[in-house]
Structure 1
Amino acid sequence: MNAPVMPETLAAPLPDALLDALQRMFGTRLSTTLPVRQQHGRDESVFDVPPPQAVVFAETEAEVAQAVAACAAHRVPVIPYGAGSSLEGHLLAVRGGISLDVSRMDRILRIDAEDLTVTVQPGVTRKQLNEALKHEGLFFPIDPGADASLGGMAATRASGTNAVRYGTMRENVLGLRFVNANGEIVRTGSRAKKSSAGYDLTRLLVGSEGTLGVITELTVKVHPLPEAVSAAVCFFPTIDAAVRTAMQVIQIGVPIARCELLDANAIRAVNAHDKLGLKEQPMLLMEFHGSEAGVAEQAAVVQEVAGEFGGEAFEWATTPEARTRLWTARHHAYLSGLQMRPGCRAVTTDTCVPISRLAENINASIAEVEAAGLPYFIVGHVGDGNFHMAYLLDPALPEELATAERLSAQMVERAIALEGTCTGEHGIGLHKQAFLRDETGDEAVAVMRAIKAAMDPLGILNPGKVFAV
């Protein structure tokens, strides 16, 4: 197993001619002030990298194309920026350049309720979209936790709590528009449910982390709001019992909508943050969608399975207010966990394995971190074999970062050995470049590099991400 790639910052000064051109195009929407640059040069990763040299706030697809073309003319890097909620260093300016902020491109362009599709600009966030859709009796199911922008969610191939039933961004993006490295606008896909027309450029861009193009428009699937929704929590004597319950629920075919794991440390954190008073032991937080009868049947089956593994205190949340309170606490788990150790930073690693190997992966990861004595907490989308381990470290102690990276590498190595992946939804970014090679092999990485070279020959689109320049 190779060590994580640590970024080397290489940034030449921006050409005056480029700054002049961008100033003419964007006026006050071009910023070189340090606070704005710093805001666009930091995410939740452990990397400390100088910020981009300038930030441009685009409001139209044409402006994105103009900005990219200007940067291409001067061979200056362009880093797409949405909500800034990524975890693996995706938006860091390791080669300097321009942060291209598309958060102001936040219009919902078209809702086709009869076809169950929506077309949006990349800055639209998932909460904004669902607020607009609820009046149509529809919802967009991809829920990575943060109120991420759809452009960023597509770029990182996000998924989240609903993926066990509704899939990831890969399955829910039908088509998109993007600006390529020359500043040209490219359209992919359509609103049709399927197509066999040529190469699947849509899937190529989904998950490309801004290295192949800047997404400027997306057409995504939406779903009818279910007739009935019910959430439940169940507590278990051990992590293993909770995980094995989730495994069996999936294996017997219960169409559960969400199945989330929180360990005792995570419960302790959300109790303190959200004043919930939950039992501080491993918990499954589940949600069921369907008809009234279907939801009741699903829940009864799950409750029976949980009982076989020692699950107890099965509690229901049937009102929207009660469900929202539980899911808000789940979405706050990361920030709540950070408060367990004030002033800490987190190395957060996610892996995904076949559901039959999930318990093995989690149990071994827990044994390793407890032997190392590093504070941690676990949350996981265990319904699809994906979980997140957050190692909490003192940024003033380099030895703790080294321990966290060692533990992370062991967890990833095990996931790959179990025929899983080094990242279920965080992406590669800076942090997992070496792991990508371990997972796919040099030959596959060479193919990816060839695609990158063909679509971005000057290497200006988010350089240094996915694989090193």
Structure 2
Amino acid sequence: MTIANAITRLADLLGDRLATSAAERTLHGQNETYYPNTPPDAVAYPESTEEVSAILRICHAEDCPVTPVGAASSLEGQHLAIHGGISLDMTRMNRVLQVNAEDLNAVVQPGITRMALNEELRTTGLFFPVDPGADASIGGMTATRASGTTAVRYGTMRENILALEVVMADGTVIRTGTRARKSSTGYDLTHLMVGSEGTLGIITELTLRLQGIPEATAAATCRFTSVEDAVNCVILTIQSGLPMARIELLDHMMVRGFNAYADAGLPEMPHLFLEFHGSEAGVAEQMAQFGEIAAEFGAEGWKTATKAEDRTALWKMRHSAHYASAALGTGKRLWPTDVCVPISQLAEAVVQAQEDAVRLGLTSTIVGHVGDGNFHAGISVNPDDADEMARAEDFTVALAKTALRLGGTVSGEHGIGLGKQKFMHEEHGPAVAYMRSIKQALDPKGILNPGKMLPPEGLARAAE
């Protein structure tokens, strides 16, 4: 039982949809961050659930690792085949299978991207609201429990998945959940799979909640003299119950990055980017209420965007934050990280992160979906500079410890993957052992995305 045997058998099954060329393997070994290229032994391109099932039956029999991949936009190396084997490329399974407009849901395959899905939904008056920024695949967004700029209003992937079809490690196909909006039957396997990063099963079909496209939408920006003022404005806004659709923080370094990357021409001060959804009257009222709150914290430079093209330009700039952060470190890679804290602790966490970056001599940006306490730091690093990499590691450890100290989590969006396994015991304690039991029960041979999510057995367990 070997990887080579699996590749031979998969070639008979898939023909030219099993790629072993150096170019294909190198392409699937790339990532958006600082991890080295990690090519798989082969790349499989299934086109149906039946093919995914057949692939897994073969790989299970041959003890061959299988690592699923979609748009490859994850930021913690979830899609890298670090133990070799098969990269299971789901991008050809990219169809909308059913739209149930009356029930506000749709059934889709995992390879469709969020932008392609919303383009297909446009004529129905509905949209899928989760927006992580990158044009990620819906399957990947589900596997990493993604959220994004609209989570403050519409929730994360966890809240927007009704049902799944999943192929288990041995090739068995199961269905979890239904099109009904709730159920009280059995264990909640749907939400066990959401966020499992491909370590428990391969998602082949999803039933998604949809939302009606709002009658009116308006965006706005404003700036503050300090991050504390901007964050405290957000805290009061959320505590006031104002139904924000998006409320994003940019610190002065992130603004500098946008100016360098996109010639944005923004004053290098902390900014909030905002969006309001509702009726014409409701949006106007929300904007007025937010303006009153912002004025209490010295907001200035208020600008609004109601035309679709102006809003699109604003959010296109925001969605380029990863590349704008990288623009500050010429010739360097980006080490992105994120945490999430209770909203009342957000100002302390953001300020601490800024101070840690300065203390460690690092170039770092901060941008965040601060309406739900989640923010990201983007550190410029040279992977060949051992000292700089060590300082970046110190920064991520300090940030994680700050989040845990304040009652938060070491990741609100990026997930665990490779980079944050070392924090699992500290955050979850004895629960990690039960997570291992679930992994062992569902994937006894350990072929599904091995080396991800759970920390190595030998890692220190002080928290337990």
Confirm or deny that 1:467 pairs with 2:454: yes
Measured in 2, the distance between the counterparts of 1:278 and 1:228 equals: 26
Measured in 2, the distance between the counterparts of 1:110 and 1:142 equals: 19
Partner in structure 2 of residue 376 of structure 1:
364
Partner in structure 1 of residue 64 of structure 2:
76
Deviations 1:375-396 (A, max 9, x none): 1111100000000011111222
Q: 2:146 aligns with which of 140, 149, 158?
A: 158
Deviations 1:68-97 (A, max 9, x none): 111011001000111100011111222111
1:103 maps to a residue whose letter is T
1:106 maps to a residue whose letter is N
1:447 maps to a residue whose letter is Y
User: 1:426, CA displacement in angstroms?
Assistant: 0.5
CA contact (8 A) 1:347 1:405 kept: no
1:185 maps to a residue whose letter is V
Q: 1:87 aligns with which of 71, 75, 89?
A: 75
Partner in structure 1 of residue 460 of structure 2:
none
CA contact (8 A) 2:109 2:206 kept: yes
Confirm or deny that 1:322 pairs with 2:323: no
How do 1:7-46 and structure 2 match up within 5 A?
14-15=3-4, 17-46=5-34
1:437 maps to a residue whose letter is H
Confirm or deny that 1:456 pairs with 2:456: no
Partner in structure 1 of residue 267 of structure 2:
279
User: 1:46, CA displacement in angstroms?
Assistant: 2.5
Partner in structure 2 of residue 437 of structure 1:
425
Partner in structure 2 of residue 4 of structure 1:
none
Partner in structure 2 of residue 337 of structure 1:
325
User: 1:272, CA displacement in angstroms?
Assistant: 3.0
2:386 maps to a residue whose letter is P
Partner in structure 2 of residue 364 of structure 1:
352
Measured in 2, the distance between the counterparts of 1:328 and 1:18 equals: 43
Measured in 1, the distance between the counterparts of 2:313 and 2:65 equals: 42
2:3 maps to a residue whose letter is L
Partner in structure 2 of residue 391 of structure 1:
379
User: 1:190, CA displacement in angstroms?
Assistant: 0.4
Partner in structure 2 of residue 226 of structure 1:
214
Measured in 2, the distance between the counterparts of 1:278 and 1:319 equals: 20
User: 1:269, CA displacement in angstroms?
Assistant: 1.8
Give the 3 Å change call, closer, same or farther, for CA 468–436 of structure 1 in structure 2: closer
| SS in structure 1 at match of 2:222 | strand
List alignment gaps of at least 5 residues for structure 2: 457-464
Measured in 2, the distance between the counterparts of 1:86 and 1:342 equals: 22
1:39 maps to a residue whose letter is L
Partner in structure 2 of residue 3 of structure 1:
none
Partner in structure 1 of residue 461 of structure 2:
none
Measured in 1, the distance between the counterparts of 2:369 and 2:38 equals: 33
CA contact (8 A) 2:44 2:86 kept: yes
1:361 maps to a residue whose letter is A
**TM-score in terms of structure 1 length:** 0.96
**TM-score in terms of structure 2 length:** 0.97
Identity of aligned residues (%): 52
Confirm or deny that 1:292 pairs with 2:292: no
Partner in structure 2 of residue 196 of structure 1:
184
Q: Quick check: 270-279 or 306-315, which moved more?
A: 270-279
Partner in structure 1 of residue 231 of structure 2:
243
Measured in 1, the distance between the counterparts of 2:147 and 2:317 equals: 18
Which consecutive aligned stretches of 4+ in structure 1 deviate over 6 angstroms post-superposition?
A: none
Partner in structure 2 of residue 53 of structure 1:
41
CA contact (8 A) 1:49 1:94 kept: no
| SS in structure 2 at match of 1:388 | strand
Measured in 1, the distance between the counterparts of 2:415 and 2:221 equals: 29
| SS in structure 1 at match of 2:277 | strand
List alignment gaps of at least 5 residues for structure 1: 1-11
Partner in structure 2 of residue 179 of structure 1:
167
1:149 maps to a residue whose letter is S
Measured in 1, the distance between the counterparts of 2:132 and 2:440 equals: 30
Measured in 1, the distance between the counterparts of 2:59 and 2:2 equals: 13
Deviations 1:106-162 (A, max 9, x none): 000001111000100000100001111111111110000100000000000000000
Measured in 2, the distance between the counterparts of 1:339 and 1:49 equals: 21
| SS in structure 2 at match of 1:260 | strand
Q: RMSD over aligned Cα, in angstroms?
A: 1.1
Measured in 2, the distance between the counterparts of 1:13 and 1:341 equals: 43
